[in-house]
């Protein structure tokens, strides 16, 4: 079955989808994106993702390509045309196409929008979660506005590649004080030996993950012990459990950090329970 992409007002075969070479996303990484989970053919946590998209756009002063209602329809239509039941929908908005020049293009330049969707292999994801993943730590060399979900992901690309070359699935980025900021494409969590969940606060060099926010609601609902504070790499080595969160991986147990086993080296009970219960807290509309 051929894949379909939505590009600036049209549904086109994925293989023939095109954006101009003067698009500012291509020239300057001048754009933002979102990745939403699709489950049972439905969008998960659309409202939170759209709120974050709004914020990313307004922080960069990029206009809206279309109304939120129209965008919701385009995302659903893209999911439908690609026959995705379980997977993700990806959307990217850039400042549009204009002769290459650093300052913003003139008022009225239309932002570009691309929406794609693809299926996940659920069985493979569940198997990965049952095994857990390895992470390696490395310095966080990103810019100071990582709270914006910008397509400028070169440091993340390099980190992820380094992780892969070291046999790990994810990189944990570390600030100048030896504290974990987040993963290259996920938020980072530990469970201390006392059973307290710990994750880094917003406004301290992380992306406000949507999965993170849903997990926080789940933790509050279940009355679990929780501290929102930075944690060091050393604390992570000594943790009982560790995991990462993202829309594509949900809650993914971490069983090894820098080659050392976390806890007993198997996915932890807390992480596994949060993964199991995640969708009872997520919003489907
Ligand atoms: N941090 C970074 C750097 C990411 O790229 C992502 C995933 N896009 C996340 C955290 C997790 O965010 P979310 O739960 O919204 O997917």
Q: Based on the structure, what is the number of domains in the chain?
A: 2
Ligand 1 atom 9, closest CA: 186
- pLDDT tens for 62-105 read 999 999 999 999 999 999 999 999 999 999 999 999 999 999 99
- Atom number, ligand 1, closest to the C-alpha of residue 187: 10
Confidence of residue 203 (pLDDT cuts 50, 70, 90): confident
Same domain, 243 and 140: yes
Ligand 1 atom 3, closest CA: 185
Q: How far is the CA of 185 from the centre of ligand 1 (A)?
A: 5
Where in the sequence numbering do the catalytic residues fall?
149
List the CATH number of the domain containing 193. 3.20.10.10
Same domain, 93 and 224: no
35 CB-near residues (< 8 Å, 6+ apart): 88, 89, 90, 246, 247, 248
Same domain, 96 and 161: no
Same domain, 103 and 167: no
- pLDDT tens for 22-54 read 999 999 999 999 999 999 999 999 999 999 999
List the CATH number of the domain containing 64. 3.30.470.10
Q: How far is the CA of 229 from the centre of ligand 1 (A)?
A: 18
Q: How far is the CA of 159 from the centre of ligand 1 (A)?
A: 14
Give the CA dihedral 83, 246, 58, 104, nearest 10 degrees: -80
Report percent pLDDT > 70 for the chain: 100
Same domain, 62 and 170: no
Same domain, 42 and 179: no
88, 120, 152 — which closes off a domain? 120
Same domain, 165 and 268: yes
**Would you say residue 285 has pLDDT above 90?**
no
**Would you say residue 230 has pLDDT above 80?**
yes
Ligand 1 atom 2, closest CA: 185
73, 94, 120 — which closes off a domain? 120
The stretch 233-249 carries a mean pLDDT of 98
Ligand 1 atom 12, closest CA: 209
Q: How far is the CA of 220 from the centre of ligand 1 (A)?
A: 21
Q: Which residue has the higher pLDDT, 204 or 221?
A: 221
- Atom number, ligand 1, closest to the C-alpha of residue 247: 16
Q: How far is the CA of 108 from the centre of ligand 1 (A)?
A: 31
Same domain, 106 and 140: no
**Model-level pTM greater than 0.85?**
yes
Residue holding tokens 């990484």?
29
Same domain, 17 and 114: yes
Q: Identify the residues whose C-beta falls under 6 Å from ligand 1.
A: 35, 182, 185-187, 207, 209-212, 245-247
Ligand 1 atom 10, closest CA: 186
**Domain containing residue 274:** 125-281
78, 96, 120 — which closes off a domain? 120
Same domain, 215 and 144: yes
Same domain, 77 and 164: no
């Amino acid at each position: 079955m051929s894949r379909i992409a939505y590009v600036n007002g049209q549904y086109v075969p994925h293989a023939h989808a095109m954006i101009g070479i003067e698009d500012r996303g291509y020239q300057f990484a001048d754009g933002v994106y979102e990745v939403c989970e699709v489950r049972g053919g439905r969008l998960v946590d659309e409202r939170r993702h759209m709120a974050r998209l709004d914020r990313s756009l307004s922080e960069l002063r990029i206009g809206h390509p279309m109304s939120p209602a129209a965008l919701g329809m385009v995302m659903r239509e893209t999911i439908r045309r690609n026959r995705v039941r379980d997977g993700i929908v990806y959307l990217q908005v850039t400042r549009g196409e204009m002769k290459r020049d650093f300052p913003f293009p003139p008022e009225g330049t239309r932002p570009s929008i691309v929406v794609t969707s693809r299926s996940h292999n659920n069985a493979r994801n569940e198997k990965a979660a049952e095994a857990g993943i390895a992470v390696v730590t490395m310095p966080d060399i990103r810019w100071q506005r990582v709270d914006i979900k910008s397509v400028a992901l070169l440091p993340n690309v390099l980190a992820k590649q380094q992780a892969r070359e070291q046999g790990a699935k994810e990189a944990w980025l570390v600030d100048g004080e030896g504290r974990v900021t987040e993963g290259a494409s996920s938020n980072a969590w530990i469970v201390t030996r006392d059973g307290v969940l710990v994750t880094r606060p917003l406004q301290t060099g992380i992306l406000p993950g949507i999965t993170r926010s849903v997990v926080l609601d789940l933790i509050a609902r279940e009355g679990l012990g929780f501290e929102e504070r930075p944690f060091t790499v050393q604390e992570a080595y000594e943790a009982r459990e560790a995991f990462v969160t993202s829309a594509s991986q949900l809650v993914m147990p971490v069983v090894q950090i820098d080659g050392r086993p976390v806890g007993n080296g198997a996915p932890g009970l807390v992480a596994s329970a949060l993964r199991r219960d995640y969708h009872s807290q997520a919003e489907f509309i």
